[in-house]
Amino acid sequence: MQHIKLIDIGLVKYQQALTIQTEKFDALISRKIEGQSNADSHALILCEHYPVITLGKAANPAHLLCSSDFLTEKNIDVVHINRGGDVTFHGPGQIVGYPVLDLDFFTSDLKEYMRLLEEVIIQTIAIYGLEGFRIPGETGVWVKSIVDHKPQKIAAFGVKTSRWVTMHGFALNVNVLLDYFKFIVPCGIVDKGVTSMQQELHATVLNCAEIKQHIIDNFEKVFNAQLTR
């Protein structure tokens, strides 16, 4: 069983979390280059962010639907980052996970890695009675919304790898204010909306600390079941 260190940094600015995960990411790469083992160096960084819109390498600027002045007025940061994918939003009430893993110990298939991340979220929301599913050709976890009975995205994913070391990861909408997603075309998908656990469960406020623990448990279960070494 691999040791995956949990690092919970709470509610932070996006750049602070990016600095922390980049340091871990660079350290694992350096260890590989030097021929050292990363067996005990994997980490899962969990946090929530102050409002921020992030644009991946393939982001279409047209998917940002409001002006910089408007975003400044609303105290929403905009950050261009080096993950795959389009545009997304992070904010309080959304649990964000940044796995920094050496995939040599888990899987040599990046698509399989994405499916494993999705499985962690599917198993987590199932604890609350929500049936998550995948849509072929689209990364993410979806639910059949209680609002219109159509697929709505409840968790988004985007990663970067170098020398089979990962960074960036997933974002699960728990209690996040969904109005923020009106300022973007989430993940560049124009024909499907975004939802949250709170909305689907008709809840007041869900316990993010409790949900984080379920994510941790499911992450260790899913990834330790895939060990290649």
Local confidence band at 172 (pLDDT 50, 70, 90 cut-offs)? very high
Ranges assigned E (strand) in the chain: 4-12, 42-49, 52-55, 77-80, 87-90, 94-100, 133-135, 138-144, 151-162, 165-173, 193-194
Query: How many angstroms separate the most distant Cα atoms in the chain?
Result: 54
Q: What is the arithmetic mean of pLDDT over 185-208?
A: 84
Tell me if residue 187 is catalytic.
Answer: yes
DSSP 3-state assignment of 146?
coil
Residue 55 has pLDDT above 90, yes or no: no
In tens, the pLDDT along 108-128 reads: 899 999 999 999 999 999 999
At residue 182, the 3 state secondary structure works out as helix
CATH superfamily entry for domain 4-224: Bira Bifunctional Protein; Domain 2 (3.30.930.10)
Structure tokens at 159: 């990663």
Given the residues 47, 66, 187, 208, select the one marked as catalytic: 187
Of the chain, the percentage scoring pLDDT greater than 90 comes to 68
The pTM of the full predicted model, rounded to 2 decimals, is 0.93
CA nearest neighbour of 200 among 218, 219, 178, 183:
178
Q: Is 226 helix (H, G, I), strand (E, B) or coil?
A: coil
CA–CA dist 215, 212 (Å, integer): 5
